[in-house]
Amino acid sequence: MKNSEYERIVKEMEYNLSARHSFLTFAFTTTLAILGVAFTSDIKNEWLFLAPFFLIVPFTARIAYLRQTHAHYSSFLRVFYSEEMIWGQLTRTYCPIRRNRADIIIEVLVNFEMFFLSLCCTAVFFYKYPTPIADFLFIDWVKCSIPILLSGIVVALTMAGYNYGKMMKKYEEKWIKAKNCRQEEYGTEEKNGD
């Protein structure tokens, strides 16, 4: 691998992390602003509380894609450029990292941010819904199922990019197979930087 290729991949990975943070910041700011305005005003339109889903759903998909791309690039570097990645080798070989409950809680909170935003929107929608549940008609049940369905979509999209470790393992196996095929084809291993 040429050094320029390595640098390009590292820059792409940095972009992915930066873009994820930008999407989250924009989504949180916009969602909370919309909910704040809708909650404090006398607007009787409960659909306003679902407007943030126009951001939450596509941003969740984009964040899942960025996580998958990051895992793909990172696994490529681990397989083809492992000599330069001392930290990755050490954690795999000498000191596997154990996860405790706090780590798992942090992992869930970090990965399900958009789902929590969707729950806020859904809760406010139900709180502001004008018809009491005792007086619900079929159409009310249909209307109330929409935010639940949208939150379900957010969960499904989040799960697509959730388990980074499994993605890394899957991509590493594919890259190792590709590396072995290349070595069989050319007979020798290319040196990094060539």
Q: What is the C-alpha to C-alpha distance for residues 111 and 26, in angstroms, rounded to an integer?
A: 16
CA angle 78, 157, 143 (to 5 degrees): 175
Per-residue pLDDT of 15-26, as tens digits, reads: 888 888 898 899
pLDDT at 134: 86
pLDDT at 80: 78
Per-residue pLDDT of 152-163, as tens digits, reads: 999 999 998 888
- Residues with Cβ within 8 Å of 189's Cβ and at least 6 positions away in sequence, in order, are 183
The full DSSP string for 13-70 is HHHHHHHHHHHHHHHHHHHHHHHHHHHHS----GGGGGTTHHHHHHHHHHHHHHHHHH
pLDDT at 20: 86
- Residues with Cβ within 8 Å of 127's Cβ and at least 6 positions away in sequence, in order, are none
Q: What is the C-alpha to C-alpha distance for residues 180 and 160, in angstroms, rounded to an integer?
A: 28
Do 24 and 38 form a contact (C-beta atoms < 8 A)? Answer: no
**Ranges of residues in the chain whose predicted pLDDT is under 50:** 89-91, 93-95, 191-194
Q: Where are the domains of the chain?
A: 3-186
pLDDT at 194: 47
pLDDT at 96: 54
pLDDT at 189: 54
SS (H, E, C) 125-163: HHHHCCCCHHHCCHHHHHHHHHHHHHHHHHHHHHHHCCC
pLDDT at 1: 56
